Every structure is written in structure tokens, then in C-alpha cells.
A and B are shown apart, each in its own frame.
Chain A
């Protein structure tokens, strides 16, 4: 049994209540949802919050709903719910791709999308997914609600725009016709952190050329979707040559570090290889949607 440093615990009842508790206990408090990142870090005494504010009773943050041309997902939505949602899979197949390879069923039953994004582990998958889908993050705090783009929200490893007295409440995804997306990860074993992963989202024009595209990498030293990917891909027909060009671009842009999961050259190779694979699949899915 690994024993964390002493801490106190309080269970929030509503978003307002959670915000009050955050204000009361200050920067030494941490919100706990699924707890599958925070609790292991506490057990290893790498994280030592004085207060845990448990938001698992905030059912108001556990939802998936279609709102016009947006899909709204509550921050407390569990990975399992996202994985099993046919609506999400139909609109954003990248989410199911990613959720299938996030940890294991036990973790997915408890872990939440909000927790993953706020933890912002460099090997965390949903930051890449939300990044390439151009999601918006809805944050509430003492000053009310603010809506940030993913590039504003996600600041890099373990860092987001969420202040210590704020709560991430919702993610919003724009629904676009003729679009497809995909995610692929390489891991040493199911449930291990990614050696590397890539995600892509593509929208095709009526003539089958690329209208818009985004490519993101996980655990490969690229905090935000690949700059310039859309410019390179737009207006061109998706083919192997184009995928290879995007792969090269990703390999050049990434900045991986060597660790037990692999050396830099391998990870750079993965950036190339996986970028090609996810673009290929995203384009095929977009074309299918176009036909459908």
C-alpha cells in the first residue's frame, strides 16, 4: 500500500459549491474527478495537495448533447461514455479511436475528459484529439464563464489556462460536413503511456480536395497542432504523396525526448509514420461521409 502525505477531503455538491471550495482552500487544493492521474502521484508523494475537492457528485457536468452545429460534452463525462457513444463516434471517429487506447477499462470507467485535459500529461491523448478538432473549453470561475480555444486552453505539459479557483465545465466541438478524423497510438503495452501518437481531422471540399486539416502529436514534443499543416494540405487531393509530405512536416516539427519508451530517432520516425496513417484514415472517413 502506497501512502500519500496527509490531506483533507471535501465533496462538492454543485459547480457553485466547487468554486466556493476552491476559493476557500486556495492553491493547495486540487479538484479530483476520476483521480487516475492525481491519486498515483499523491501515493508516490510527487503531488501533495492539502485539500481534495471531489467533484464526482456534479452530475450537471456529465452529459453529451447536440446543440445545433455543436456537440457539447460535459467535463465530467467518463471515458467509457465517450467510447461507447455512437453519436460521438459518428461525428468524430477520432474520439473512439483515442478512447479505445486510453489506459484500460478500469481507468476509463472513472477517468473523465475534463480530468485528462486539465492534467495535460504530455502523453495524454485527448489534448491532441480536442486540438485537432478545434474544440472550445468552457471554464467557470469567480468572474463567471469564459470560453477558450484549445490553443489558449492548453499551454504545454501539465499546464493549462484553468486558474486554481476555476473549473473546466464543458468542451464544445464544431460539427462540419464532409469531415473525418482518426487517431493512432504506439505503446509498449496496453495501458502504458504512449511512445507516440498522432491525430488528424480533415474536411474535404465538394470536389474531394482538402478544405481544412489539422494534425496533432502526442508524447512527441509538439504542444499544439502542427502549424502550417492546413496550408500545405488545403486544395490538394488526398493521396500518398500528400500524406508523405505531411509526415515529413510532422517529423520536422516535433521535438521528442529520449526515454525508456524510445530514442529520439524512433519517435521522430513515429511522428512521420503515424501522421501518414491518421491522415490516410481521416481522409477516407471524410470521403465516406461525403458519399454517405
Chain B
């Protein structure tokens, strides 16, 4: 097993104190970020650059009657105004989504959500572009909006996608997984069945930098350079080639520092396409960067699942089966990014961490007059919803059986010896030791003491809650035989070059939005080759400079690209062995490896370091036959399976009985992501995800009024948590390596976002037990908690 160096990083320490490989080292990215020297999309300025702005629909559902751009075009600084009619001529009015649907780039016939793109102004500066939006006259014929997904399939519901021939309703898909008959039979025979509607409201990724693009089309050589806030530069290049008809070798996508992604930057937004059209039309570079309101109102949301859950068990607490039906609100266009053949992505992992006899889920997706999306938001393609459902249901069952929720979980976990474990809905979990993680979490929390404290407080009328959640994530999409996005397989490439002096550059296909790739991928190479991480440059985010791959989302960077990097380093190591053999005039099979050096078996003093071998490779020695004069390699890694990180979380809340305010007092997170490359970065990822979880559990929601107005169009209305709402995070870990991954790593980026909301909500519901509350939906705002205390808990949608 991999040795993990777990010590504080100290930049002043000498090289001998710094891990050459895995360990706790400071991020290579941080100096530029903390000094304000990051280079974000909006920092890009090109000579002669124009600026674009998008006119957006003020209503949710309306027929477009007319657009008059005369006054806008008369603005002295306006260069062009583009409407849907112009795009029809270019065959660009509609673009394919990531889910086999189409989405309007600009409205041609009908507005389908508030904030939808109606026209694009290109002007000499940003201010003029924005001002000119007010000079465009648009006439709308307002239609009744559909904002309540529960009414989407009513006979009298307005048909949102009436442009699709033959479409008479708002149903996108019906999909199911698992054996229904078997599941129903288990339910029919079970001692105990509990059911509950569980709602995961619509929330937003809200990255720090909003979405934007700078398009630079060179009419002379026909090359498009597109700087974009994208998490998937290579996939975008292929899609642009297909959609816009520009040859793929004439497209270069650059994704600079993009100020966070969280899934918000996976898809192609109309603004990106409009920037390209603007550049082609004007012959000059065009920048378009949305403002915060545009980001919140029009870009990819997450969740919006109404889940009817049922759980069956024996009287003594053996969980037998789960079933659920989900109503999924996809907004006006089905633009969900998900790499499976299933329209609900990985939702069928809703069996969670438990050994069940049967399970069945079905999902109905519907259109509504809301922004499209459901891309991600740290959700691993609907794992977030799945884990939330099962972890709420298990808690509700525990209450019903009058069992401790931690005990109930321990009784039902998949056992270590059952791995690889095939669940009832088609997933094969790679490895796990759930009980160890759960027990560690309980030990760190002082679980028994907390329960005692709670009992004492209840005597005094104080409201303290302890919430437990246990999650199994499914990440690292994915094996190309099963997974693709619009036909592109999900393997990832890596190229490694070791320069003559022993310094290296590794080029990867995934794009960093804060995950620390420039550090961790250097550490993977360092671990494999013994070259210090600071001597390894990680190149990413530019399709002209990096190998093909599908990008960063769904916690796939380490599981897929990390595997590629480890394998390419091993390939270089094997080549180095051949070259070292030539240099030492020894047969390669007589050489032995120690980190950074090949030496002669039995004579450790005779050997060559990687730097010496690199110089040798590029030098004048006679190379063995078939060995090129370099120390480079490339691979494309097709993972054999997904990886299944897991964790045990415990949350302690206090609720003010007079006001319903929830205070998260403690949060204990034990994560197992397999091999740990950089514990400090892992902890940072966990801290971020837990904070995210507090936001969703306590405050975040995108609401709409009955007219279809989005009520979360700014950070004044869409709340995200601050340092004041979160406790000091208490983290712990276990290490259960993935058996099929080259370094045993599983991915950590989304674990905490997936695992924390159920722990917090379970804690809130636990605190409210004296009031007979068995469930309440997020967000647990003071008003909603108080309503639950009055016996009037209501779903938020």
C-alpha cells in the first residue's frame, strides 16, 4: 500500500523535509491566487476587442411578436445587434444540449423561461453594450407560465415545447431501474414500511466568477480561438466543430483560471456561441461576461427533484428494500449533462451503503418554464439526490423502529468482505469498509456523550439535534464501453516529457477550477518518478497544448486523469530503465528501482538518477534498438470501473426554540477517498463541500412566483453561507484504496457536498423530535423550522 506522508508543509524547509510524491504540500496555484495574480476569463483583453451583452426575457412564457433593433443600432458605439432571426439564417438558432435535446440560442418563436436570451448587442465597450439593451423594443404576447412541476403533466398544462412536432405534453422521459416485481414482493411481505416525500429544491452552483467567453475568429486563416469558462475544453471543441461547422483543427479552446465551476461550467451556453457569432460578424474579438443576476437566473441549476421514497424493513431493523418515484423538473430544455445511458444519471445508486434484497426507482422528467440545467453542482450526476433520499429514509425508519440511527446503519452496511459488491440497480462498488469509517466518526464525535447531553437538554426544553449520514459516492466516469457524452468516450489522456535536465512537464486533459491539479498531478508524477513536485509543470486548459479528454466534473479528475498521469509516469519510468541499462552497460532486467533512480541489483552504488537518465536520453550515448532519444510518453486511460468513495458524517445542531434559528455547532466528517495524494488539498475540498452542504440545508433555494418570476436573481436573495454559519470542521479519514485504480485513489471533490445535507437535515429533524417532527424539507430557514415545530412543515415547492 502507498505510504502517506502526513506532515505540515513548510515552505522554508529544505528539500529533505518536503515530500517527493504524496504528502501535505502547499498548492502551487496559491501564490498567484492569494496575490491577486490569477488570470481569469474577465482579465483577458485582446487588441480591438468588442463587448457583448445579452437582452433577456422579462417574462417566463411568451410568444415573441416582434423585435425592433433600430434604436440600438443607432447608438454610436453599437457595432451589431443579433437576433434569433439572424441565427436562423446561420442555422445557429438552436443548439444541441448534452441530453439529446435542443436549446434556443436566441428566442425565435417563444420565450420559455425568465432570463432567456432574446438578442445580443456587440458594442465598442461594455457600458454601451449594456445601455443599448434598453434601446431594443420587443413585443411579447404573454402566455400562462408553468412553474409547478407537479402540474406539468396536467391535461390543461401549457405545452412548453410546442415547437417539437407532435408534442402535446411536457413529459421528457419516464425511466426506471431495478426489479419492480421483486421489490414489490419484498415490500408486501415486510414487517415495517415507511414512506415519505423528500424534496431536494432547485439550487445554484454560484461560482465566484460568472460564465463568459472571449471569441477571436481570425478570418484570414479561419482559426477560432475561444477563451471560455469551461470545465471541459476538449468536449467543447468537438461540439463547436459539430455545431458551428468550423473544422476541429481550426478551433482552439482556452480555459484560463475560471473562478470555480461546480458543474456550472460544463455545458455550452448561448452566450459562448453568441460571442463566436459576434466575432465572425464584426471581424474583431468579442468578449461576453454575464453578470451575477444572469448567472443565477439563466445558467445551469442543480437538483429540483421531488422524491417519493419508501423503505421496507424487518421489525428488528434489517433493511430489506427501497423504492422511489421521482418527479424531476428539468426546466425549459433538457440540458442535463450526464454520461450514462440513463436520463437520471447515477440516481440509481440510491440504494446507498446498505445491503438490500431489492430496489426499484423510476423517474419522470418534465419541462417547466424555468432555466434549463441540472448539470452538476458537485452532485456526481444525481448522486446527491440519491444519497439525500436514502439517508433521510433510513433516519425516518430509525425513528419508526425506535432505534438509534447510527446503530441502524451499522446493522445494514455492506460488509468489507462483500466487495466488489453488486447492488440491485446495476452498480459494482469497488471497495469499502463502512463500519470502520462509521465507528471512527462516532468516536471523533463522542457519540454516546452527545446523546447523553441531548437527553439532559431535552429535559430542560432545549433543542439539540444529532444527525448521522453515511454516503457512498460513485465517481470517475467512466469506462468508455458504458459512458459517453454526446458520443465522446470518457477516457482521458496524459503526456509527459522529461527535459534533459530532469525537469518535467505533464499535459493533462482535465481543467482545474480550484481542485489543485497543478499540485496533485505533479505529486503523482513525483511519486512515480522521484522528481520533486516543484520540478514538474502541469499544463491544462488549452486544447492546442493538451491531449484529448472529457474534462473536470463528477469528481473524475483523479479517478480518470490521475490514473492517466500515473500510467504515463510509469511508462517513462520503464523507458528510463532501458536507457539506464544502456548508460550502465547492464541488462535492464538487472536494474532495480528506488524512488528517483535505477540501480544495479546487488550494487546500489551503481545507478543513474532520473536527471542523469534524462540527459542520457537526449545526449549522445547509443540507445537500445527501438528506443527514441527522449524521455517522453503519452497514454489514454480508459478506467475499468467507476470508483466509490464513501464517508460517515455526524452533525450537531442547536435550535432556538423561540425563533427556529438553527446553529450548526459541530460537524464531524470522516472521508475515505482511497489513496490520499495531498491531505491538505483533500481537507480543503471537504471543507468547501461541507460549507456547501450548510448552504443547501439551511438557506439555498431558487424559488419562482406564480408568474414565473425567478426570486433568486441576486446574492441579496440567493443566500450562500459565510464563515459565520459554519463551525470549525472536524475531519478524519480512513484509507480503502480502489483495487482497480493505478494508484488506488477514488476522488474527493464532491463527497462532502453529497454527504453533508442529509447529516444536517437529520440533525434538525432529530432536534425537533419532541414536537413529533419526523421530516422537514430543505432549506431549514428559521420560518420553515418554526412551521415544522407547529406541525405545519411544508415542502418548499
A residues lining the B interface (CB < 8 Å): 1-3, 5-6, 40, 44, 104, 186, 188-193, 195, 260-263, 266-267, 269-270, 273-274, 277
Task: Given A1-B126, A260-B717, A273-B659, check contact A6 B786 (CB 8 Å).
Answer: no
Q: Which residue of B lies closest to A273 (CB)?
A: B658
Contacts of A1 in B (CB 8 A): 42, 126, 289, 291
Contact check, A186 vs B782: say whether CB atoms are below 8 A apart.
Answer: yes
Can you give 7 A-B contacts (C-beta < 8 A)? A2-B291, A2-B292, A3-B126, A40-B714, A104-B722, A260-B711, A270-B659
In the assembled complex, B719 has its CB within 8 A of some CB on chain A? yes
Contact check, B719 vs A189: say whether CB atoms are below 8 A apart.
Answer: yes
What separation, in Å, do the CA atoms of A195 and B787 have in the docked complex? Answer: 14
6 interchain residue pairs of minimum CB distance: A262-B783, A190-B724, A3-B130, A266-B783, A2-B291, A273-B658
What separation, in Å, do the CA atoms of A191 and B724 have in the docked complex? Answer: 10
Please, what's the 1-or-0 string for B710-742, where 1 marks a CB less than 8 Å from any CB in chain A? 010010110101101100000000000000000
In the assembled complex, B412 has its CB within 8 A of some CB on chain A? no
Other than the given A40-B714, A189-B725, 11 more pairs (CB < 8 A) read: A1-B291, A3-B127, A6-B127, A186-B659, A189-B699, A192-B716, A261-B781, A262-B781, A262-B783, A266-B660, A266-B786
What separation, in Å, do the CA atoms of A242 and B703 have in the docked complex? Answer: 40
Q: Which residue of A lies closest to B713 (CB)?
A: A44
Contacts of B719 in A (CB 8 A): 188-189, 192
Contacts of B661 in A (CB 8 A): 186
Contact check, B782 vs A195: say whether CB atoms are below 8 A apart.
Answer: yes
Contacts of B225 in A (CB 8 A): none
The residues in B between 756 and 791 inclusive whose CB is less than 8 angstroms from any CB of A are 781-783, 786-787
Contact check, A40 vs B131: say whether CB atoms are below 8 A apart.
Answer: no
Contact check, B717 vs A6: say whether CB atoms are below 8 A apart.
Answer: no
Contact check, B725 vs A40: say whether CB atoms are below 8 A apart.
Answer: no
Q: Which residue of B lies closest to A276 (CB)?
A: B658
Contacts of A192 in B (CB 8 A): 716, 719
What separation, in Å, do the CA atoms of A1 and B721 have in the docked complex? Answer: 21
The residue from A186, A191, A263, A277 contacting B722, defined by CB atoms under 8 A apart: A191
B408 to chain A, nearest CB (A): 32
Contacts of B716 in A (CB 8 A): 40, 192-193
In the assembled complex, B293 has its CB within 8 A of some CB on chain A? yes
Contact check, B659 vs A190: say whether CB atoms are below 8 A apart.
Answer: no
B716 to chain A, nearest CB (A): 7
Contacts of A269 in B (CB 8 A): 786
Task: Given A188-B699, A192-B719, A260-B711, check contact A2 B659 (CB 8 Å).
Answer: no
A222 to chain B, nearest CB (A): 18
Q: Which of B42, B130, B293, B703 has the most CB of A within 10 A?
A: B130
Contact check, B658 vs A277: say whether CB atoms are below 8 A apart.
Answer: yes
What separation, in Å, do the CA atoms of A41 and B384 have in the docked complex? Answer: 36
Contacts of A191 in B (CB 8 A): 722
Q: Which residue of A lies closest to B289 (CB)?
A: A1
B789 to chain A, nearest CB (A): 10
What separation, in Å, do the CA atoms of A40 and B293 have in the docked complex? Answer: 12
Q: Which residue of B lies closest to A40 (CB)?
A: B716
Contact check, A44 vs B782: say whether CB atoms are below 8 A apart.
Answer: no
Contact check, A44 vs B714: say whether CB atoms are below 8 A apart.
Answer: yes
Contacts of A277 in B (CB 8 A): 658
State how many residues of chain B have any CB contact under 8 Å with chain A.
Answer: 30
The residues in B between 648 and 705 inclusive whose CB is less than 8 angstroms from any CB of A are 658-661, 698-699, 703
Contacts of B721 in A (CB 8 A): 189
A289 to chain B, nearest CB (A): 26
What separation, in Å, do the CA atoms of A104 and B722 have in the docked complex? Answer: 10
What separation, in Å, do the CA atoms of A192 and B783 have in the docked complex? Answer: 14
Contact check, A190 vs B725: say whether CB atoms are below 8 A apart.
Answer: yes
Q: Which residue of A lies closest to B781 (CB)?
A: A188
What separation, in Å, do the CA atoms of A263 and B131 have in the docked complex? Answer: 38
Contact check, A2 vs B126: say whether CB atoms are below 8 A apart.
Answer: no
Contacts of A266 in B (CB 8 A): 660, 782-783, 786-787
Contacts of A270 in B (CB 8 A): 659
What separation, in Å, do the CA atoms of A190 and B717 have in the docked complex? Answer: 13
Q: Which of A186, A267, A270, A277 has the most CB of B within 10 A?
A: A186
Contacts of B783 in A (CB 8 A): 195, 261-263, 266-267
Contacts of A6 in B (CB 8 A): 127, 131
Q: Which residue of B lies closest to A262 (CB)?
A: B783
What separation, in Å, do the CA atoms of A193 and B717 have in the docked complex? Answer: 9
Q: Which of B42, B291, B711 has the most CB of A within 10 A?
A: B291
What separation, in Å, do the CA atoms of A267 and B783 have in the docked complex? Answer: 8
A59 to chain B, nearest CB (A): 30
A190 to chain B, nearest CB (A): 4
Contacts of B42 in A (CB 8 A): 1
Contacts of B699 in A (CB 8 A): 188-189
Task: Given A188-B719, A189-B725, A263-B783, check contact A2 B293 (CB 8 Å).
Answer: yes
The residues in B between 268 and 294 inclusive whose CB is less than 8 angstroms from any CB of A are 289, 291-293
B244 to chain A, nearest CB (A): 27
Contacts of B292 in A (CB 8 A): 2
A155 to chain B, nearest CB (A): 24
What separation, in Å, do the CA atoms of A274 and B658 have in the docked complex? Answer: 9
Contacts of A261 in B (CB 8 A): 781, 783
What separation, in Å, do the CA atoms of A104 and B715 have in the docked complex? Answer: 14
Please, what's the 1-or-0 string for B117-130, where 1 marks a CB less than 8 Å from any CB in chain A? 00000000011001
What separation, in Å, do the CA atoms of A28 and B677 have in the docked complex? Answer: 60
B75 to chain A, nearest CB (A): 12
What separation, in Å, do the CA atoms of A5 and B134 have in the docked complex? Answer: 10
Contacts of A44 in B (CB 8 A): 293, 714
Contacts of B293 in A (CB 8 A): 2, 44
What separation, in Å, do the CA atoms of A2 and B42 have in the docked complex? Answer: 13
Q: Which residue of B lies closest to A263 (CB)?
A: B783
Q: Which residue of B lies closest to A1 (CB)?
A: B291
Q: Which residue of B lies closest to A258 (CB)?
A: B783
Task: Given A186-B661, A260-B711, A262-B781, check contact A5 B131 (CB 8 Å).
Answer: yes
B128 to chain A, nearest CB (A): 10
Contact check, A260 vs B131: say whether CB atoms are below 8 A apart.
Answer: no
What separation, in Å, do the CA atoms of A104 and B658 have in the docked complex? Answer: 25
Contacts of A262 in B (CB 8 A): 781-783, 786
What separation, in Å, do the CA atoms of A188 and B717 have in the docked complex? Answer: 11
Q: Which residue of A lies closest to B210 (CB)?
A: A1
B56 to chain A, nearest CB (A): 13
Task: Given A189-B719, A273-B658, check contact A260 B724 (CB 8 Å).
Answer: no
Contacts of B714 in A (CB 8 A): 40, 44
Task: Given A40-B716, A188-B781, A190-B725, check contact A263 B787 (CB 8 Å).
Answer: yes
Contact check, B722 vs A188: say whether CB atoms are below 8 A apart.
Answer: no
Q: Which residue of A lies closest to B711 (CB)?
A: A260
Contacts of B130 in A (CB 8 A): 3
What separation, in Å, do the CA atoms of A193 and B715 have in the docked complex? Answer: 12
What separation, in Å, do the CA atoms of A251 and B711 have in the docked complex? Answer: 28
What separation, in Å, do the CA atoms of A179 and B781 have in the docked complex? Answer: 35
Q: Which of A5, A262, A263, A266 has the most CB of B within 10 A?
A: A266
A34 to chain B, nearest CB (A): 16
B452 to chain A, nearest CB (A): 29
Contact check, B782 vs A188: say whether CB atoms are below 8 A apart.
Answer: yes
Q: Which residue of A lies closest to B131 (CB)?
A: A6
A180 to chain B, nearest CB (A): 21
Q: Which residue of A lies closest to B42 (CB)?
A: A1
Contacts of B659 in A (CB 8 A): 186, 270, 273-274
Q: Which residue of B lies closest to A261 (CB)?
A: B783
Q: Which residue of A lies closest to B694 (CB)?
A: A189
Contacts of A186 in B (CB 8 A): 659, 661, 782
Contacts of B725 in A (CB 8 A): 189-190
Contacts of A260 in B (CB 8 A): 703, 711, 717
What separation, in Å, do the CA atoms of A269 and B722 have in the docked complex? Answer: 27
What separation, in Å, do the CA atoms of A269 and B343 have in the docked complex? Answer: 45
B25 to chain A, nearest CB (A): 32
What separation, in Å, do the CA atoms of A274 and B725 have in the docked complex? Answer: 21
Contacts of B787 in A (CB 8 A): 263, 266
What separation, in Å, do the CA atoms of A190 and B661 have in the docked complex? Answer: 12
B58 to chain A, nearest CB (A): 12
